[in-house]
């Protein structure tokens, strides 16, 4: 028996799913969205937003500690601060509640019906949802799979007790005396840096030869220096071999041999896996690209009328990618001619300093056989960075050597995440170095470093000699 029908059914109310549903509602499509949790998914509830709240609170606390120690570059003195992490978590939870309520309100305003429960495919058009009030069967003309991803567990490091996923790490009400972070990617370093600033003794264990292995070494170098200044111990080329929950001892195989590390908590940040099981998706026998659902440039799966967006479709597993896919799919279902033709998707690491990368790195461009011109402008020559007391880092531009088309822009420095939109816009609109260099950038701002880097490509840098 069919309880409900709709034109579009979205499974998963994370960033991709809720954006897809809202846009579909705006376009007049009868839309239902299903999720067992509150709207916003991992990103809003236990990921992007909570982690940035913790990072900001840790930054503020660290600045106050510097003032108390007489180490403020601004000459500010303060009493020794303390932190009530339970109050910090309550503040974070209030932000999440406000945002989830906002998303729910936007869906309702767009005419989207939200059903709280676990959905399970019966076939390519029908989904059974187990709700608190009983099961409901929904028949839809078109279905969008937006089920997201979950943290990866490692052998011998099953979540529970002292062993945390990022979700639990963002909800601790007491700062641990010591924290081992297994995985030196962006999730591990973002949370690990925050707890180091809050007072934990942090050790990072990374299997590769350096942390943040997905970013090129030039961008990572300032972050590694800062981690060392914060007292973070980095064990690269190392793997965990087991953990004694009772004693709180983590066994590690390092290049120098076995090592036992005493730690109050262990954060496992070894990546995320797509949630392609548990929704009955496996019953549809959709084509796969290794562990991800295979989609084309319109996010269509191998089954007619079934689309997939976000983390279940592959890398990069980023909320803004999922949002863009969700909006596109809603417009396709509504009859618009859309296709996925993104030149670049910003990748941001909210470490200290932050890293932004959009488009190709110098190495990636050369690997494609392109001759490139690369130029950088350091924040040590930027007035705004100096007045903020943090001039580490730089902005870097990669251009084709023949026509100076911008292929990639990256930056490392305090607050550079806010420059990501300008970087992405330059690449999406096909800017050449002359376009950026000729655009007046407000002074004094960190954004001037983008203009100066573009000028350096042309051999016309004003406030810095050389090309990088």
Q: Using alpha carbons only, give the angle 250, 252, 254 rounded to the nearest 5 degrees.
A: 155
Answer whether 233's CB lies under 8 Å from 218's CB: no
Task: Find the radius of gyration of the CA atoms of the chain.
Answer: 24
Helices (H) and strands (E) in the chain, counts: 13, 24
At what angle are helices 186-198 and 217-229 packed, to 10 degrees?
20
Q: Using alpha carbons only, give the angle 405, 410, 414 rounded to the nearest 5 degrees.
A: 145
- Helix H or strand E encompassing 113: strand 113-116
Answer whether 17's CB lies under 8 Å from 152's CB: no
Please tell me the distance from the alpha carbon of residue 159 to that of residue 156, in angstroms, as a whole number.
9
Length of the chain: 468
Spatial neighbors of 227 by CB under 8 A, at least 6 apart, are 189, 193, 196, 204, 211, 234
Which residues belong to the active site?
Answer: 443
At what angle are helices 319-333 and 15-26 packed, to 10 degrees?
30
Spatial neighbors of 369 by CB under 8 A, at least 6 apart, are none
Please tell me the distance from the alpha carbon of residue 18 to that of residue 25, in angstroms, as a whole number.
10
- Greatest CA separation found in the chain? 74
Please tell me the distance from the alpha carbon of residue 26 to that of residue 13, in angstroms, as a whole number.
17
- Burial group, residue 262, by CB count within 10 angstroms (0-12, 13-18, 19+): middle
Answer whether 452's CB lies under 8 Å from 461's CB: yes
């Amino acid at each position: 028996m069919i309880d409900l029908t709709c034109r579009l059914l979205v499974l998963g109310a994370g960033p991709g799913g809720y954006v897809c549903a809202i846009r579909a509602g705006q376009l007049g499509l009868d839309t239902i969205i299903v999720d067992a949790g509150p709207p916003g998914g991992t990103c809003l509830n236990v990921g992007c937003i909570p982690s940035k709240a913790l990072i900001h609170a840790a930054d503020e606390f660290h600045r106050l500690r510097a003032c108390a120690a007489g180490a403020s570059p601004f000459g500010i003195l303060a009493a020794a601060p303390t932190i009530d992490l339970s109050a910090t978590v309550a503040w974070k939870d209030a932000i999440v509640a406000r945002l989830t309520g906002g998303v729910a309100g936007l869906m309702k305003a767009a005419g989207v019906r939200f059903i709280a429960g676990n959905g399970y495919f019966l076939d390519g058009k029908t989904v059974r949802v187990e709700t608190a009030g009983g099961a409901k069967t929904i028949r839809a003309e078109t279905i969008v799979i937006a089920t997201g991803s979950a943290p990866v567990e490692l052998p011998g490091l099953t979540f529970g007790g002292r062993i945390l996923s990022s979700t639990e790490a963002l909800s601790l009400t007491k700062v641990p005396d010591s924290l081992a972070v297994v995985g030196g990617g962006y999730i591990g370093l973002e949370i690990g840096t925050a707890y180091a600033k809050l007072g934990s003794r942090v050790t990072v264990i990374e299997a590769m030869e350096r942390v943040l292995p997905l970013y090129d070494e030039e961008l990572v170098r300032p972050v590694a220096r800062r981690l060392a200044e914060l007292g973070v111990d980095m064990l690269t080329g190392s793997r965990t071999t087991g953990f004694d929950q009772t004693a709180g001892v983590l066994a590690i195989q390092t290049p120098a041999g076995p090592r036992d590390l005493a730690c109050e908590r262990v954060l496992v940040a070894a990546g995320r896996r797509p949630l392609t099981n548990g929704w009955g998706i496996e019953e549809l026998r959709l084509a796969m690209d290794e562990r991800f659902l295979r989609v084309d440039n319109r996010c269509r799966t191998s089954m007619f009328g079934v689309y997939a967006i976000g983390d279940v479709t592959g890398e990069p597993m980023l909320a803004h990618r999922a949002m863009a896919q969700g909006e596109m799919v809603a417009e396709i279902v509504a009859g618009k001619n859309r296709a996925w033709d993104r030149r670049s998707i910003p990748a941001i690491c909210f470490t200290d300093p932050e890293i932004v990368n959009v488009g190709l790195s110098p190495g990636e461009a050369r690997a494609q056989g392109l001759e490139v011109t690369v130029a950088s402008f350091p924040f040590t020559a930027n007035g705004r960075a100096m007045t903020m007391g943090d001039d580490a880092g730089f902005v870097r531009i990669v251009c084709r050597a023949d026509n100076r088309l911008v292929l990639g822009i990256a930056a490392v420095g305090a607050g550079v995440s806010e420059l990501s939109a300008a970087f992405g816009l330059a690449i999406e609109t096909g800017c050449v170095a002359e376009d950026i260099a000729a655009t007046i950038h407000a002074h004094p701002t960190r954004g001037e470093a983008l203009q100066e880097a573009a000028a350096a490509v042309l051999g016309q840098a004003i406030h810095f000699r050389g090309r990088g």
